[in-house]
Chain A
Amino acid sequence: MTDKPQHPEEQVLQEGDPDTTGHSWDGIKEFNNPLPRWWLWCFYLTIIWGVAYTVLYPAWPGISGATAGVLGYSTRAEVAEEIERFDALNADLRTELTEVELASVTRDDTPELYNFALQAGAATFTTWCSQCHGEGAAGVQAAGYPNLLDDDWLWGGSLEDIQMTIAHGIRNEDDPDARWSEMTAFEGILSDEEIAQVVNYAMALSDEDGDGVNASNHAYDTTLAGTGENVFLDNCAACHGDAGDGDRFLGAPNLTDAIWLYGGSAEAVEETVRHSRFGVMPAWSGRLSEAEVNATALYVHSLGGGE
């Protein structure tokens, strides 16, 4: 005989038996298999840890914020510090970006500067430019925010042109260097019939094969277009050129390509002829640093349409 406790299945338990907790439900008694004491200590330790943590770190919410914690720890301050640190790391690159000739910044020749500029430009673009030009820089046609991905540039798509536009804006009264152009609103000047003729003529300019559907896939009236040439030469060619291919110096759009800033349907073109439209862009040189402007120019240029 051993005095070891017998196997549970064979044990006949009494009420209050030291090996049970004394609990019983429907005759089923609960064994007492105590946890080790260190387990209990660990449990107490977690409680102490938890309390200490809320004292040391920001924790308890109040009405206008949370307790600061005696360690004065703040993630915000930490982030600010990090940003400062990285800014400092990039200071050289930023200076370089203001001094260098933009066209010489390429992936092959200056990969570090090129990558930095593209990343910085993308960040600036997302923050400041995407509101109008869209996150993907595709613009909003109905509102006349130009698509920056295509190869059609009202004011030129070279790095210098883009940089100029970003720095000084378009039709921006506060900046004497801003680009400026104006188109006459022809309602009242031309008769309705003349307007209809010139609208269709303008649409026909980008129809190479003359089948009544132009490069932007819009159908137009070929007979009306045929009679619109004189109206165009008299009223529009001064800016858009005799061939209708525009003038970048004046900011007059090329009418022979497939891209229409405000849409290429007959209604949209007519609206432009009747009432004229003026897109405005703010000058960024005051708000963004020179390095940021240059980086953004490089970024926009890299989107696929840069010249």
Chain B
Amino acid sequence: MASQDAAPKLYAAQEPIFPKRVKGPFRNFKWALMIFTLGVYYITPWIRWDRGPSLPDQAVLVDLANRRFFFFWIEIWPHEFYFVAGLLIMAGLGLFLFTSALGRVWCGYACPQTVWTDLFYTVERWIEGDRNARLRLWKQKWDFRKWRLRVTKWIVWLLIAVATGGAWVFYFADAPTLLRDLLTGQAAFVAYATVGILTATTFIFGGFAREQICIYACPWPRIQAAMMDEHTITVAYRDWRGEPRGKGKKRREMAEAAIESSRLAGPTIRGTEPGATSAPEVEAPGDCIDCMACVNVCPMGIDIRDGQQMECITCALCIDACDEIMDKVGKPRGLIDYLALTDEANERAGNTKVPVMRHILRPRTLIYTALWSAIGVGLIVALFIRSEIDLTVAQVRNPQFVTLSDGSVRNTYDIRIRNMTAADATFRIGLTSDDVLRVDLEGSQDLMVEVPADETLLQRVYVIARPEDAASGRERTDFRFWVEEFGTEERAFGDTTFFGRGQQ
């Protein structure tokens, strides 16, 4: 065991990160995606959709009270939950697919934590200025100006957070009504609680915890490694081009000292610190001018030149930053770039670049795509072939059968008829069987039942085999129930079994 004279600190204060503003194609893409995703999130509950008088006219609505899920023209009932399960599986597989092809793109661009943090950073920049101003403010004493800026920032954050929590509850109730109820203090407690919790999490996670959530709280960084391999495209620094780095006077001296350049043997894509190599002084300086632009813009506060790191969310802001520098110093872009690990050896050997598509199209991604599409196609097919009436049959097995006074055998079933159409409908109940079985409904003279629009009816049904029917003596007889919608002749079926006396 080592000596304990320098007792290690087990906990560290959070080091604040002040990412600098950056411009470039990836940043623009991120803006576009942010506007799109936030727009979808905030606006969707307000889209109206006319479904007729008895149904809600909100386009996307999770109606927990009535256990319905409305999505534009689609209406999902609880027994069709496999649609939701299927979509979740597709979301999972989609994430696998994108991660295996492009690394943590989800984290960098679409993850809510990233999107809201980005939004909060934008607000922070508007109010407190860019990196240097914020750094200064952070170090400065708490005077009036600091309080004013801080409080303004927090208020704007809080407004965003409230809107975020608020938007969530609108998915679960009629949005205009709920908004009015929320404002007049008449909404359900659960609505306020949800808004409160989501406001708090948005405010804390987006405003204060930021990259800490990605590093310490989110399980995804740990899982994603299983989906990535050396062909996965991630953000990386071309250290074979950039090193040895240097700036200003040092750089000039380095260039002068470099009479003959001797390339380092086998540096890795992880990056090589100049100090750790054997003969850097005689080398011509690399393209990296050590301006720290890439480090300053990084929302995760890391130096990508150290190599691939767990913290990196592949947001590519460092690419934008470095490309701008490369343009200024007249060097080709792409010192930091989207690369695959396999590119390094290839590029060092001076071969032509492997096309991006070749990295992306490999068995792993193709299999993910195939699975993903198969489920998608399956769900679409299921959506089109599902009928608007549905029937489930539950046999009452206590007792299995009853003997009636004339010697007939009677079985009892609970039939659930779902009328998923928007109109009241009358159904006729019957059964198909090779044996002569008779049907009888509890509480109804004929074999007709009425099911209101968009509702379920539970009907107790008796099936009787007369003594002379074979089914009364047989142990079990399979048959099927059907319900037929009066008028449309559309039928739904349910298979079940008739229990007879058995051979005695």
Contact = CB atoms under 8 A, between A and B. Distances in A.
Interface residues of B, number: 47
Given A7-B273, A22-B1, A106-B443, 17 more contacts: A16-B4, A22-B4, A32-B10, A34-B9, A34-B11, A36-B13, A40-B11, A107-B444, A135-B398, A136-B398, A138-B402, A149-B402, A149-B412, A150-B402, A215-B467, A217-B504, A254-B405
Interface string A6-44: 110110000111101111100001001011111110000
B489 interface: no
B443 A36 contact: no
- Residue of B216, B405, B442, B501 most packed against chain A (CB within 10 A): B405
A82 interface: no
Contacts of B270: 7, 9
A166 B403 CA distance: 23
Interface in B3-21: 3-14
A304 B276 contact: no
A10 B273 contact: yes
Given A18-B6, A35-B216, A302-B443, A150 B12 contact: no
Given A136-B398, A136-B399, A302 B442 contact: yes
A257 interface: yes
B303 interface: yes
B446 to A, nearest CB: 12
Q: How large is the interface on A (under 10, 10 to 19, 20 to 34, 35 or more residues)?
A: 35 or more
Contacts, number: 131
B399 A138 contact: yes
A200 interface: no
Contact of A147 (B1, B12, B402): B402
B405 A6 contact: no
Nearest to A136: B398
What 7 A-B pairs have minimum CB-CB distances, sorted nearest first?
A: A136-B398, A257-B405, A215-B407, A138-B399, A258-B407, A34-B12, A22-B2
A151 interface: yes
B9 A258 contact: no
B6 A22 contact: yes
B13 A37 contact: yes
B403 A36 contact: no
B412 A35 contact: no
Contacts of A259: 403-405
Contacts of A40: 11
B442 A35 contact: no
A1 interface: yes
B274 interface: yes
B405 A152 contact: yes
A108 B449 CA distance: 11
A104 interface: no
B410 interface: yes
A85 interface: no
Contacts of A149: 399, 402, 410, 412
B11 A35 contact: yes
14 contacts: A1-B273, A7-B307, A9-B270, A22-B7, A23-B1, A24-B1, A35-B216, A36-B12, A39-B11, A40-B11, A215-B467, A257-B407, A259-B404, A304-B410
A36 B216 contact: yes
Nearest to A36: B14
